[in-house]
Amino acid sequence: MNMHGIDCFARRLDRLPPAVWLALLGAAMWPHILWMARRMLDGSDDPLGIVALAALACVGWRHRGRLRHMPRPVWFCGALALVLLAGITWQALPPLLSTLLALLGFAAGMLSLLPGGVASVPVLGLAALSLPLMASLQFYAGYPLRLVAAELSRCLLLAAHHVERDGVALRVDGQLVLVDAACSGVQLVWLSYFTACATALLCGCGNAHFLRRLPAVGCLALTGNVLRNTALVALQADGKAVAAWLHEGIGLFTLALVCALVFRLMRARAPTAKTAPIAEFIAEQRS
């Protein structure tokens, strides 16, 4: 092909709508898309990943007028490499890990088309959160999280009760209360990090701003879950069953409060060199 032919081919590529590039990536990861759809719809997992996928779509729609017609080479090469690796490892790796590679590749493809000012880490974070992983998180991380929640709740309850911990159960003044799977806080953690990624993209935060505040997001999620469990255990300590509406109400209130605090944390002013993000955040709440 001569130089004129190459130049004509490049001009034709430049006329392609940005959605075509993403559609090509999506077509290459069809086994992963099919697996995700089955996993989300068969009742074996909470379909929260759909919310993260919708957020990614909103990011693309929000910047639709500034999308590049030609992808940035570095990001698009990374996208091709990840999607290709996901296809090669589809039979060799667990579907969850192979699909993670495919989703990260798709996110890299999005970043190759998005304007340069869009932070890459929250986009990659939303892609990871798109996985149908709640059941897997509950299986692998549920018990350790319940153990931590039970122990920290025990420490808080000692101020007013005699409390002993036996595994993930608490004996409060002789009354046995189980910290069950729903109290692990897995969904609260997922929603906290989702709120962090979505807020960072909504407010135009940079990668450094986002990463500095990410550890505090985990602390807020853990603190909220421990306080929720402590309140529920204290209510059950007298041997009376807690009304379902009260149990659900405390959980929803805690979720709303933690997500609101994460939102405030992510959109807080960038700290000075001597100010830690969590210290700045606490100061904002007092003002």
Residues 148 and 209 grouped into a single domain: yes
233: closest CA among 242, 224, 243? 242
How do the pLDDT tens digits run along the chain, 287 residues long? 444 444 443 455 456 677 787 888 888 888 998 998 888 777 767 788 899 999 999 998 888 888 887 888 899 899 999 999 999 999 899 999 999 999 999 999 999 989 888 899 999 999 999 998 888 888 888 888 888 888 898 888 888 778 888 888 888 877 778 787 777 889 999 999 999 999 999 988 899 999 999 999 999 999 999 999 888 888 877 666 677 788 788 889 999 999 999 999 998 764 443 444 454 444 444 43
Residues 120 and 212 grouped into a single domain: no
Residues 114 and 255 grouped into a single domain: no
| Three-class SS state of 171 | strand
Residues 127 and 143 grouped into a single domain: no
Q: Of 131, 148, 172, which one is at a domain's C-terminal end?
A: 131
Give CA–CA dist 78/124, Å, rounded. Answer: 13
Residues 148 and 36 grouped into a single domain: no
Give CA–CA dist 23/60, Å, rounded. Answer: 13
Q: Of 101, 131, 161, which one is at a domain's C-terminal end?
A: 131
| Three-class SS state of 210 | helix
Residues 153 and 280 grouped into a single domain: yes
205: closest CA among 121, 281, 276, 109? 121
What domain count does the chain have? 2
The domain of 191 spans: 133-287
Residues 159 and 278 grouped into a single domain: yes
Give CA–CA dist 35/99, Å, rounded. Answer: 8
Supply the pTM of this predicted model. Answer: 0.84
Q: Of 112, 131, 150, which one is at a domain's C-terminal end?
A: 131
Buried b (16+ CB within 10 A) or exposed e, 91-103: eeeebeebbbbbb
